[in-house]
Amino acid sequence: MNIDISRLQAEIDELALISENPPPVVTRVLYSEADMRGRAFVKTLCTQAGLQLREDAVGNIFARWVGKEPNLPAIATGSHIDAIPNAGKYDGVVGVLGAIEAIRALQKSAATPRRSIELIIFTSEEPTRFGIGCLGSRLLSGVLSLEKAGALRDRDGRGLEAWRKEAAFTGSLDSVRLPHDRYSAFVELHIEQGPILEKESIDIGIVEKIAAPSTLRMHLIGVGGHAGAVLMPGRRDALLAGSEIALAVEKAVSSTGSPDTVGTTGVFRIEPGAVNSVPCRAWLEIDVRDTQVSTRDAALKQIESVACEICQRRGIELQAERLNVDPPAICSVELVKRVTETCASLGFSHQKMISRAYHDSLFMAQICPTTMIFIPCRGGFSHRPDEYSSPEQIEKGLAVLAETLAKLSA
């Protein structure tokens, strides 16, 4: 396989410079100027590789190497290039730029495939703008209704319609949904975002299951006032209620009896944010996940009921909303087997694993057989600027991806 890993590394480095923050920080929030410039960079590479481009009404990008039998369901691969605030350069990007390099390598070394191979660059895998992740793949798989999509709001109350029109994605959201026979397989290459592969010196992880994510958004309305004049017994401090809720999240997920339950209060904003003023409002976004739905759901219920008690006791109005409560995805047994065979034929050590992070694969699994190829990342770090996978690790992942795409499309 003719993989040009130096060219790919140079492209990863170049895309990382398209960011809302100076290096090494990568931030590309949905529809920001950096996101739009990142998309343009990737589209240029796709065009240079001779891929046929299409964009849908929410900004999902499809780049197709047209096969000899273009009417057959295609083989899909892909990931995302949006990045949370203070992120690194590999999350998602390895599965996008890596897939372009895999296709270029196949173009050099193999004949045109029978089935088309389609790269998908999903819109907003990260939840930063609207609170839910995988916006593009939720819509194309039909998991997110148009009504719910229309109700999405960012922290300033601005909706998806306004944002996507400003980004010049004007078609009807109706048209984003794809038929279930469009793809015969989806395979996503991604960094592990956990420590197992590195610790155990394993080249490749093959994903069998993706943990079930959920997100709660809470708006706490208290009563503000002068930090000197409002005496302690009369206070209705939104920050203190929010702090108790954040601690309750930790307690709820730590007491399910399952080590797989995790909970994070990753957003906690207050108003007015002045040192001499009692916080009158707080916004919390809480991420709760597990490999088992039952334990995840029990933790969610406990968090919601304790939040009600806390707010009642403190005289705070609570508006709570479940932004998403998703089931886990079970990957295709057949695809896992195919990827396992490919790893063995290439002489790479490999292991089946669970993805604790979510990915667009969670929703692609609803419309076609799906699996993921994981490569190790240093220390298991991700969602941080020091996120890193070596060129050698990436090259192995690419070799597995390219071979798998070649076999599936033949």
DSSP for 158-178, written as a single string: -BHHHHHHHTT--S-GGGG--
Label residue 259 left, alpha or beta by phi (over 0 means left) and psi (-120 to 50 means alpha): alpha
As given in the structure block, the two tokens for residue 201 are 């010196």
Closest distance to Mn ion from the beta carbon of 385 (Å): 13
Q: Is 358 in the site for ligand GLV (CB under 6 A)?
A: yes
Instruction: Indicate the residue among 116 and 370 with the shorter CB distance to ligand GLV.
Output: 370
Counting contacts by CB under 6 A, is residue 133 touching ligand GLV? yes
91 binds Mn ion, rule: CB under 5 A: yes
Q: Give yes or no for residue 328 binding Mn ion (CB under 5 A).
A: no
Would the CA dihedral through 240, 241, 246, 250 be positive or negative? positive
Question: Least distance to ligand GLV from the beta carbon of 30, Å?
Answer: 13
237 contributes a contact to Mn ion by CB under 5 A: no
Please state the closest distance from residue 52 (CB atom) to ligand GLV, in A: 29
Specify the stretch interacting with Mn ion by CB under 5 A; choose among 85-93, 141-149, 286-294, 325-333.
85-93
> According to CB under 5 A, which one of 38, 59, 88, 92 is a site residue for Mn ion?
92
Q: Distance between CA 198 and CA 20 in Å, rounded?
A: 30
Binding partner at 188 among ligand GLV, Mn ion, none, C-beta below 5 to 8 Å by kind: none
* 377 near ligand GLV, judged by CB under 6 A: no
Find which of Mn ion, ligand GLV, none residue 133 binds, CB within 5 to 8 Å per kind. Answer: ligand GLV
- Residue 121 burial by Cβ neighbours in a 10 Å radius (0-12, 13-18, 19+): buried
Nearer to ligand GLV, 253 or 270 (CB): 253
Name, in order, each residue with C-beta under 8 angstroms of 75's C-beta and a sequence gap of 6 or more.
Answer: 113, 115, 116, 117, 118, 183, 184, 185, 186, 187, 405, 408, 409
Residue 325, H or E segment? strand 317-325
Q: In a 3-state reduction of DSSP, which class is residue 210?
A: strand
- Count of positions on this chain that bind ligand GLV (CB under 6 A): 4
Shortest distance, position 37 Cβ to Mn ion, whole Å: 19
Give, as ranges, the residues between 112 and 131 that touch ligand GLV (CB under 6 A). Answer: 126
Contact flag: residue 78 with ligand GLV (CB under 6 A): no
Q: Which residues of 329-359 are buried (b: 16+ CB within 10 A; e: fewer)?
A: bebbeebbebbbebbeeeeeebeebbbbbbb
- Closer CB to Mn ion, 193 or 302, in the complex: 193
Which residues contact ligand GLV (rule: CB under 6 A)?
126, 133, 357-358
